[in-house]
Amino acid sequence: MRARWIVVPLFTLMAAVSAQAADSKCPAVLEGSLPELRGKEQIDLCERFAGKPLVVVNTASYCGFAPQFEGLEGVYKAYHGQGLEMLGVPSNDFKQEDTDAEKTAKVCYANYGVTFTMTKAQPVRGSDAIPLFKELAAKSSAPKWNFYKYVVDRQGNVVASFSSLTKPDDPEFTAAIEKAIASQP
């Protein structure tokens, strides 16, 4: 039997290698996946958020700041058309989140009408923190309480972080979001 050679033009091969390399370029902050709040699927952070401006917020259903869900949803709706994504990560690190994901989902979706991406409860502080929050803490600071907000640009850099006291309609928060939207991928 005679060996057959497949001839592939060099530029096709180089384009395939280049595309593969581009796919593997995920900012450290977006490496990994998290379980979605509703359902059993995993959210691939890089696949879902790479190249997009992003707000990450640690949440808690029974926190006095929970009404910020409404303001965060308003921000998400106002800027989503410009590419903004938002990721809510419930956490019981401050002892104000339910262990039942269904109860958390009810608070987020039924009580506050959240439409942005939410995960199941995760640790967000200290050595137990998930990689996303370890990276956010390294680039900024760890959340000091629930509803700590991080604005991340299209390259995965933290533009700014905001305490729980910062309301979603705060002009500095809005300016950081607009800066992240304006960043080039």
Instruction: Give the whole-angstrom CA distance, residue 26 versus residue 103.
Output: 33
Q: Which residues are marked as active site?
A: 63
Cβ neighbours of residue 137 under 8 Å, at least 6 residues apart?
125, 129, 143
Nearest Cα to Cα of residue 142 among 96, 89, 98, 105: 89
What six digits make up the tokens of 177?
């979001």
Cβ neighbours of residue 3 under 8 Å, at least 6 residues apart?
none
